[in-house]
């Protein structure tokens, strides 16, 4: 029961990665506040409760922390797996100023405010971990050739957002690290989700063994970053990508 008596907040809990993390933490004895903009069919129970809310609003972030603290008395780790997809550009020729700025302010604004408010909370509490999500595209641009002859596309704002997450983590780790607070990010490779076969094949050719990942491939990294083994790992971006970035 590695998560016994541990309290997590998982934002984006109904997405591919959030869902797998949440199930793993609950299975291993932890308690989870699940946060997502989507309505969930499941009901809250003594180890998990749901908050349907939009993370891009400052007041909502405060409410999530207050509610979790009230219910479970403490918070050990906050993981942000959310990504606002609504305003992304659809292709290279459809860059729209309003959409780009909205997408960037939604993702970066919410991560910055989340870090600041949560780190202030953890400072009073005396400890805590924050894990944000960057991406392989937070350290490299897309391999555009992989997208040829598919209807898939990776927009500039995704690369910009994910590079910036790496900076946000360093900034806040340096400010708050001395208060027993660890702030790191995970940069996964692509997660399998019924992608186009040609794309999968080309993608795999840039990797070492597996190619695209399963969300469960990230569990051990999350475990490590959320417990004492990583106490001296702070402000880092852990790349988990089967060698895509090499």
Residue of 30, 188, 211, 235 interacting with ligand NAD (CB under 6 A): 188
Displacement of CA 44 from its chain's centroid (Å): 22
The reply to whether 64 sits near ligand NAD by the rule CB under 6 A is no
The reply to whether 55 sits near ligand NAD by the rule CB under 6 A is yes
d(CA 21, CA 41): 18
* Cα dihedral sign, 56-108-81-211: positive
* Cα dihedral sign, 192-114-116-129: negative
Task: Extract the tokens encoding 84.
Answer: 């606002």
Nearer to ligand NAD, 14 or 157 (CB): 14
Q: Which stretch, 81-89, 145-153, 197-205, 220-228, contacts ligand NAD (CB under 6 A)?
A: 81-89
Hunting for tokens 């984006």 — which residue is that? 12
Consecutive H or E run containing 182: strand 181-188
* CB of residue 113 to ligand NAD, shortest distance in Å: 12
* CB of residue 165 to ligand NAD, shortest distance in Å: 8
**Parallel, antiparallel, or unpaired: how do β-strands 77-80 and 128-133 relate?**
parallel
The reply to whether 37 sits near ligand NAD by the rule CB under 6 A is yes
- Which residue, judged by CB position, is nearest to ligand NAD in the bound state? 15
Active site residue 158: yes
Q: Which stretch, 71-79, 82-90, 142-150, 198-206, contacts ligand NAD (CB under 6 A)?
A: 82-90
Residue of 122, 133, 199, 244 interacting with ligand NAD (CB under 6 A): 133
List the catalytic residue out of 50, 83, 147, 158. Answer: 158
Hunting for tokens 């209807």 — which residue is that? 151
* CB of residue 206 to ligand NAD, shortest distance in Å: 14
Residue of 8, 50, 83, 122 interacting with ligand NAD (CB under 6 A): 83
Q: Which stretch, 30-38, 42-50, 96-104, 146-154, contacts ligand NAD (CB under 6 A)?
A: 30-38
Asked if 140 and 243 count as a contact pair (C-beta separation under 8 A), the reply is no
Q: What are phi and psi of 189, to 5 degrees?
A: -75, 180
The reply to whether 243 sits near ligand NAD by the rule CB under 6 A is no
Q: Which stretch, 64-72, 173-181, 188-196, 220-228, contacts ligand NAD (CB under 6 A)?
A: 188-196
d(CA 220, CA 203): 23
Burial annotation 122-157 (CB, 10 A radius, 16+ → b, else e): bbeeebbbbbbbbbbbbbbebeeebbeeeeeebbbb
Residues near ligand NAD (CB under 6 A) are 11-12, 14-18, 36-38, 54-56, 81-84, 133, 135, 188, 190-191
């Amino acid at each position: 029961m590695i998560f016994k008596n541990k309290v997590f907040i998982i934002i984006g809990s109904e997405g591919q990665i959030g869902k797998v993390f949440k199930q793993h933490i609950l299975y291993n004895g932890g308690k989870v506040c699940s946060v997502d903009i989507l309505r969930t069919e499941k009901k809250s129970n003594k180890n998990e409760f749901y908050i349907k809310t939009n993370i891009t609003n400052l007041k909502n972030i405060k409410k999530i922390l207050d509610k979790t603290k009230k219910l479970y008395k403490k918070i050990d780790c906050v993981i942000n797996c959310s990504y606002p997809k609504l305003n992304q550009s659809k292709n290279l020729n459809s860059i729209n100023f309003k959409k780009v700025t909205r997408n960037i302010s939604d993702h970066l604004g919410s991560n910055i405010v989340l870090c600041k408010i949560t780190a202030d909370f953890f400072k009073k509490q005396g400890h805590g971990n924050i894990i944000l999500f960057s991406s392989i595209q937070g350290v490299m641009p897309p391999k555009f050739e992989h997208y040829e002859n598919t209807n898939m596309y990776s927009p500039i704002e995704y690369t910009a957002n994910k590079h910036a997450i790496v900076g946000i983590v360093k900034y806040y780790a340096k400010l708050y690290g001395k208060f027993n607070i660890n702030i790191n990010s995970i940069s996964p490779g692509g997660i399998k989700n019924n992608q186009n076969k040609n794309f999968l094949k080309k993608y795999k050719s840039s990797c070492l063994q597996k190619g695209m990942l399963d969300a469960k491939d990230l569990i051990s990294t999350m475990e490590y970053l959320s417990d004492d083994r990583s106490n001296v790992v702070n402000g880092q971006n852990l790349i988990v990508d089967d060698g895509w970035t090499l």
